[in-house]
């Protein structure tokens, strides 16, 4: 799989990924990681855990990857075509404020995306999705109805889903992503968090 560190790009095979994973007590994979700020923050706050940012746009990941600690990886890949090297590694998968094809895939229950999501996770994994009202509105879904569709998608892969929780302006201000900060000070600071468990 393709890994970026600042302006440098390298490739890690399955054996190298497994060796890196063994140095950590658990692995979080963030799909659609954007600029990677969430993963960098997580890696700094939890040096015992591995954190992986996955995004298709290499340029987005450069700045965060340059200043992140060694327990963070920044992987250039499409969430709809996830690297085999990450299969079964995560005990937590996060999707923060998805939009575009990732959001549509979650709402529509796109089989390839959901199969990849399930394949990333180990048997006891938590899947943590945070949606925002503005992105859903752009796809013509009200917040609550969009959340219901994502819940249904997660249930289709055998996940047990908690009741969705509303996310407000104050929650967004404390959330360590660039997009959350923008939403917190924007016109529509509404969101919903969906937590699901496999196994």
User: For 54-101, how does the pLDDT look when each residue is reduced to its tens digit (9 = 90+)?
Assistant: 999 999 999 999 999 999 999 999 988 899 999 999 999 999 999 889
Three-state secondary-structure class, residue 115: helix
Phi, psi of 2 (to 5 degrees): -90, 125
Q: 104: pLDDT confidence band, cut at 50, 70 and 90?
A: very high
Q: Identify the sign of the CA torsion 36, 48, 123, 126.
A: negative
User: What's the pLDDT score for residue 37?
Assistant: 94
For residues 95 and 98, what is the distance between their CA atoms, to the nearest angstrom?
6
Check if the beta carbon of residue 34 is closer than 8 Å to that of residue 55: yes
Structural domain boundaries in the chain: 1-25+36-78, 87-199
Pairing of β 50-55 and β 191-197: unpaired
CATH 3.40.50.300, applies to 87-199: no
Q: What is the pTM of this model?
A: 0.94
pLDDT at 29 over 90: yes
The more confidently predicted of residues 65 and 183 is 65
């Amino acid at each position: 799989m393709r890994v970026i560190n600042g302006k440098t790009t390298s490739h890690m095979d399955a054996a190298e990924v497994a060796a890196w994973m063994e140095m950590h007590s658990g692995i979080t994979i963030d799909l659609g990681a954007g600029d990677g700020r969430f993963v960098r923050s997580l890696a700094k706050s939890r040096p015992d855990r591995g954190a992986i940012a996955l995004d298709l746009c290499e340029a987005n990941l450069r700045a965060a990857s340059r200043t992140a600690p060694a327990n963070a990886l920044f992987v250039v890949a499409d969430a709809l075509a996830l690297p085999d090297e990450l299969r079964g590694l995560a005990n937590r998968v996060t999707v923060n404020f998805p939009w575009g094809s990732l959001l549509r895939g979650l709402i529509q229950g796109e089989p390839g995306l959901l199969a990849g999501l399930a394949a990333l996770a180990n048997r006891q994994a938590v899947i943590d999705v945070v949606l925002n009202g503005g992105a859903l509105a752009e796809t013509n879904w009200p917040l609550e109805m969009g959340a219901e569709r994502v819940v249904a998608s997660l249930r289709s892969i055998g996940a047990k889903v908690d009741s969705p929780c509303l996310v407000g302006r104050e929650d967004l201000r404390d959330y360590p992503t660039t997009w959350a900060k923008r939403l917190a000070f924007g016109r529509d600071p509404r969101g919903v968090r969906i937590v699901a468990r496999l196994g």
